[in-house]
Amino acid sequence: MYRDGNEEAIVCLDAETGETVWESRYKAAYDGLRQYGSGPRSTPLLVGKTLFTVGVTGKMHAVDKSNGTVAWSHDLWGGEFRGNRLEHGYSSSPVAYLDTVIVPVGGDRAGLVAFDQESGSIRWKSPFFKNSYSSPLLVTIAGEEQLIVFMAEELIGVDPGSGELLWRFPHANQWGHNISVPVVDGDRIFISSPQVGARGLQLIREGETTRVEQIWSERRIQFYLATATPERLTVLAEAKLLARPALTVPTIVGQTMYVRDQSQMVAVDLG
């Protein structure tokens, strides 16, 4: 996805040449903070023949991956949902569960919404939780599938099939900026955000219920998307690829890495 003035575009490129195969555009005037660009920020989700996208103003679309034809759409910030508007724009990426696609909304009518993938009809809505910038994560805890979501003021676990709240743990900061996707290792969860730092949590199954317990917390630690040993972070190689700041994580397919900044996209051979 990319922005062109007051329009957002969903684009399909030839992976070998970068040539445009198809493009689908829609109006999406953005009046939020622009110091980190004006979006889109969410990562498109591909399930079978359908591509699900959400733009920076909360416009959600389901399009045919072969030609970009729109099958259905919803306005997560307007109409029936009235999701809470974020100063840096909508950023959460959708997640698929069985035949549904689930997105955080954060309106006074729903915290999360699950849509039928084919028709776009509402399958369930969760209780209200104010949305932030993180994306939902599907995990299995003691044999139970759960959807973990880092909302603006707390970390929550819900049943991905019904939207029922299973547990919650407070983690609020001054700006409501919970951004990083939680890191899950077995029944342990690690979260981090500005100002309040990091926490280690453990999920404990007791019969048919799950409770969450804090193992540790540290305000001085904030972790982001890097891999390191306890001793050091080792850089194996580096190369300048882009002229402007890149806010989108790279994508690797085989030996090809795709990177983009706010004006161009580049394919790099890692072989």
Dihedral, CA atoms, 174, 30, 106, 64, nearest 10 degrees? -140
Query: Which pLDDT value is given to residue 172?
Result: 87
CATH (one of 1.10.357.10, 3.40.50.620, 2.40.10.480, 3.20.20.70) for 132-225: 2.40.10.480
* pLDDT mean over 164-191: 90
Domain boundaries, the chain: 1-121, 132-225, 237-271
- Is the pLDDT assigned to residue 101 strictly greater than 90? yes
Give the range among 99-113, 125-139, 207-221 with minimum mean pLDDT: 207-221
Interacting residues of 73 by C-beta distance below 8 A, sequence separation 6+:
26, 59, 60, 61, 62, 120
| Alpha carbon distance 96, 147 (integer Å) | 11
Residue 215 burial (CB < 10 Å; 0-12/13-18/19+)?
A: exposed
pLDDT of residue 85 exceeding 70: yes
Number of H helices, E strands in the chain: 0, 22
Lowest mean per-residue pLDDT among 49-53, 71-75, 172-176, 249-253: 172-176
Q: Which amino acid type is present at position 230?
A: P
Flag whether pLDDT at 72 surpasses 90.
Answer: yes
Class assignment of domain 1-121?
A: mainly beta
232, pLDDT greater than 70 = yes
Quickly state the pLDDT bin for 225 (edges 50, 70, 90). Answer: confident
Residue 223 has pLDDT above 70, yes or no: no
Indicate if the pLDDT at residue 99 is higher than 70: yes
Per-residue DSSP letter, 231: S
Are 103 and 81 within 8 A, CB to CB? no
